[in-house]
Structure 1
Amino acid sequence: MRKLTILAAALAPAPALAASGPFFSLANTDFVVTCGFIVFLGILVYFKVPQMLLGMLDKRAEGIKSDLAEARELREEAQSLLASYERKQKDVQNQADRIVAAAREDAKASAEKAKADLEASLERRLEAAKDQIASAEEDAIRSVRNRAVNVAIAAARDVLSSKIDGGKQSALIDDSIKTVDAKLH
């Protein structure tokens, strides 16, 4: 109940009760306030305050429009730059992929070439070893042959020297040595 009385007291039109008498009288506060308000509005219109306010609002609206247009242009420019950078990134990525693929191909080709070179080198070394073996074999055969010739000559000299006299012996030995030497070499 107490709340209801506080609410009724707050809503009571106490200032409106102050105006009394006829409306068009200077004693009536409502009339005076209304006249003051009309005079105030007239002064505002006389000094063109509404036009100034509208002008300022129009200027502000134009400023906002220009800011929005500039922001739109900056956004479009940023989007075009972003698209450009994305294209460049894709191009760089494609180029990197091509470089990696080329490097792999080069590595494969180098590996195959190295393998072929190694096989050729081994083949050359094998042939060189075979040639060395054949040469050593020929040298050994020649050495054995020469040794056999020398042994045969020495044996023939010993046999002939024991069976033939001195003068004839040396002539026959020399002749035999020349014949054997010519036939074996």
Structure 2
Amino acid sequence: MLFDAEFWVAVAFVVFCGIVWRAGGFHQIVAGLDKRGDRVRKELDEARRLREEAAAVLADYQRRRAEAEREAAAIVASAREEAEAAAAEGHARLNEFVERRTRAAEAKIAQAEAQATAEVRAAAAEAAVRVSETILREKVSGEAAQDLIRRSLGEIRTRLRA
């Protein structure tokens, strides 16, 4: 057993561990592991903080997106209402325009009818006066007849034009 290599490796390991212990190497190893553990803990805390911050930012963006969607929907609804109101107003104006034009056309037609009726009456009165004058001249003669014809024709013209 004294000549086995494993025995001497074990003895050398124990001596090495004693020297390292005497030199304070175990404390340095433990301190290094503690520092590494603290660094890993800080990185985990930082990662947790960043994750919470990212979640808050995500929630904020989702809230803003929802708000923007609501605003967009409100804008679309408002635009639709304005378009409908403008269309209704345009339709009302068009109806009013058509109604005014119709009334104006009816007034012009009534005026033309009245004028045509007056012209027909005047023409009829003139024709009646001429016919009456011709008939009276043929049947009545003399100065009294001429005076009677003038008065009668004047009255006929006045009555027919009225």
Q: Given the two structures, how large is their TM-score scaled by the length of structure 1?
A: 0.67
Where do 1:141-180 residues align within 5 Å?
141-162=117-138, 163-164=140-141, 169=146, 178-180=154-156
Q: Indicate conservation of the 8 Å contact 2:125/2:156, yes or no.
A: yes
Which residue of the partner structure matches residue 101 of structure 1?
77
Q: Which has the higher contact order (CA 8 A, sep 6+)?
A: 2
Where do 1:5-20 residues align within 5 Å?
16=1, 18=3
| SS of the residue 2:71 aligns to | helix
Q: Indicate conservation of the 8 Å contact 2:129/2:157, yes or no.
A: no
Which residue of the partner structure matches residue 116 of structure 2?
140
RMSD: 3.2
Per-residue Cα deviation, 1:39-88 (whole angstroms, up to 9, x for no partner)? 32232123322122222212211111111111111111110011111111
Q: Give the counterpart letter for 1:99 in structure 2.
A: I
- The correspondence for 1:46, drawn from 22, 28, 31, is 22
Q: What is the CA distance between 1:178 and its match in structure 2?
A: 4.5
Where do 1:52-71 residues align within 5 Å?
52-71=28-47
Which runs of 5 or more residues in structure 1 are unaligned? Answer: 1-15, 20-27
Per-residue Cα deviation, 1:145-172 (whole angstroms, up to 9, x for no partner)? 1111222233344345554458x84x66
Number of residues paired by the alignment?
160
Q: Indicate conservation of the 8 Å contact 2:126/2:157, yes or no.
A: no
Q: Give, in whole Å, the separation in 1 of the partners of 2:41 and 2:2.
A: 51
Q: Give the counterpart letter for 1:75 in structure 2.
A: R
Which residue of the partner structure matches residue 63 of structure 2?
87
More helix per residue: 2
Per-residue Cα deviation, 1:22-46 (whole angstroms, up to 9, x for no partner)? xxxxxx994x655533332232123
Which runs of 5 or more residues in structure 2 are unaligned? Answer: none
1:33 to 1:95, Cα distance in 2 relative to 1, 3 A: closer
Q: Give, in whole Å, the separation in 2 of the partners of 1:133 and 1:29.
A: 133
Q: Give, in whole Å, the separation in 2 of the partners of 1:29 and 1:138.
A: 142
Instruction: Return the index of the structure with the highest Cα Rg.
Output: 1
Which residue of the partner structure matches residue 25 of structure 1?
none
Q: Give the counterpart letter for 1:59 in structure 2.
A: K
